[in-house]
């Protein structure tokens, strides 16, 4: 169970892993798991091939996302996020914030399609996140398409969690009692305008993702960067046929820092250029509390502890983490629907 040094640590590019090897021969699976273990410790970011998603579905999602963003602004504003107490819907560029600064991207957020929770005086505030998505009337084909894609990337995320569990010398189902019967399934279609529109080069500010794993589909324009522990920034340009996978804070909590949630950002594209991406964040069910997994001794010796950000604390109570993230990222929604909490977020 040794953590080996691989080319991933050269700080020149992200490694690439083929998920189909996890379901191959025992020897191939063992080799894949060893490579994944090293990536998890040193990076947490990698390109994924062998994922089994139909290229036609990917093409349709990207094409239809572009058609959504090309709609007149008044059509998109019919489903503006500020109308949803569940933080679902459309945001204009500059409306979302990272560490208090504006992110120059417009986007549509959906999550698990559900009914609003019944709220009583003793109901935890995070239960208010549960509810339906908002969908554009002018593009009815977007709903079934994004829900089909959401199901596929959920499958990928769960397969990756099983592989991560194996890489940590655990049962492949070690995380299932944290996300079953229903994980969080936050999906964003995103458009980054060029710097002739953006007021800064911050497409998305430097941050860590809060869930288990992120499955990112990039179109053709670069902009994603990953920061290593020693402060080196690695560019992660689009690679056709791949997803970019990264580990989130829930895995850092569960492994006492053996798996690290790496800081990353997106630089706004040049003037006159657009960047499109589709980001999926697989998270725990909101009522879960993240335990510390007992790693084998040789991995336990490499635990680094939980990273501490004085501006963004991490909680083991998942619902509290999810609500904190949404309140901070969308202060307009917080003011509209969570006035009792907005001042303290």
User: Mutual orientation of helices 26-42 and 142-167 as an angle, nearest 10°?
Assistant: 100
Sign of CA dihedral 21, 23, 27, 31: positive
98 and 291 Cβ atoms separated by less than 8 Å: no
Q: What is d(CA 46, CA 9) in angstroms, rounded to the nearest whole number?
A: 12
Task: State pLDDT tens for residues 255-276.
Answer: 999 998 999 999 999 999 999 9
**H/E stretch holding 318:** helix 318-329
Task: State pLDDT tens for residues 10-62.
Answer: 457 899 999 999 999 999 999 999 999 999 999 899 999 999 999 999 999 99
What strand order describes the sheet that includes 45-49?
Answer: 16-18, 45-49, 243-247, 213-218, 275-283, 184-192, 106-110, 89-91
Say yes or no to pLDDT of 203 above 70: yes
187 and 230 Cβ atoms separated by less than 8 Å: no
Question: What is the number of other CB atoms lying within 10 angstroms of the CB of residue 220?
Answer: 11
> What are the structural domains of the chain?
7-342 (2.60.120.330)
Residue 6 pLDDT level (bands cut at 50, 70, 90)? very low
What rounded mean pLDDT belongs to the chain? 93
Say which residue the tokens 């990112």 belong to. Answer: 216
Say which residue the tokens 């083991």 belong to. Answer: 316
């Amino acid at each position: 169970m040794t953590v080996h040094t691989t080319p991933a640590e050269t700080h020149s590019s992200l490694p690439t892993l083929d998920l189909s090897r996890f379901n191959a021969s025992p020897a191939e699976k063992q080799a894949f798991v060893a490579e994944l273990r090293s990536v998890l410790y040193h990076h947490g970011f990698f390109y994924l091939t062998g994922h089994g998603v139909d290229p036609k579905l990917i093409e349709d999602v990207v094409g239809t996302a572009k058609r959504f963003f090309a709609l007149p602004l008044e059509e998109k504003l019919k489903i503006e996020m500020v109308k949803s107490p569940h933080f679902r819907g459309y945001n204009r560029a500059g409306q979302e914030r990272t560490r208090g600064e504006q992110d120059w991207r417009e986007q549509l957020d959906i999550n698990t399609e559900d009914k609003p929770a019944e709220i009583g005086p003793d109901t935890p505030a995070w239960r208010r996140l549960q509810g339906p998505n908002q969908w554009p009337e002018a593009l009815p084909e977007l709903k079934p398409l994004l829900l089909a894609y959401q199901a596929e990337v959920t499958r990928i995320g769960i397969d990756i969690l099983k592989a991560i569990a194996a890489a940590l010398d655990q049962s492949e189902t070690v995380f299932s009692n944290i996300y079953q019967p229903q994980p969080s399934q936050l999906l964003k279609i995103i458009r980054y305008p060029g710097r002739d529109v953006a007021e800064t080069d911050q497409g998305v500010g430097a941050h860590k993702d809060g869930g288990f794993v992120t499955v990112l589909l990039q179109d053709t324009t670069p902009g994603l960067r990953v920061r290593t522990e020693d402060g080196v920034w690695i560019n992660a340009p689009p690679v056709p046929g791949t997803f970019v996978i990264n580990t989130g804070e829930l895995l850092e909590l569960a492994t006492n820092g053996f798996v690290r949630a790496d800081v990353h950002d997106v630089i706004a594209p040049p003037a006159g250029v657009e960047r499109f991406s589709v980001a999926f964040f697989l998270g725990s069910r909101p009522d879960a509390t993240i335990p510390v997994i007992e790693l084998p001794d040789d991995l336990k010796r490499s635990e680094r502890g939980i990273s501490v950000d004085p501006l963004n604390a991490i909680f083991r109570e998942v619902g509290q983490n999810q609500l904190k993230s949404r309140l901070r990222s969308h202060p307009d929604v917080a003011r509209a629907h969570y006035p009792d909490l907005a001042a303290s977020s």
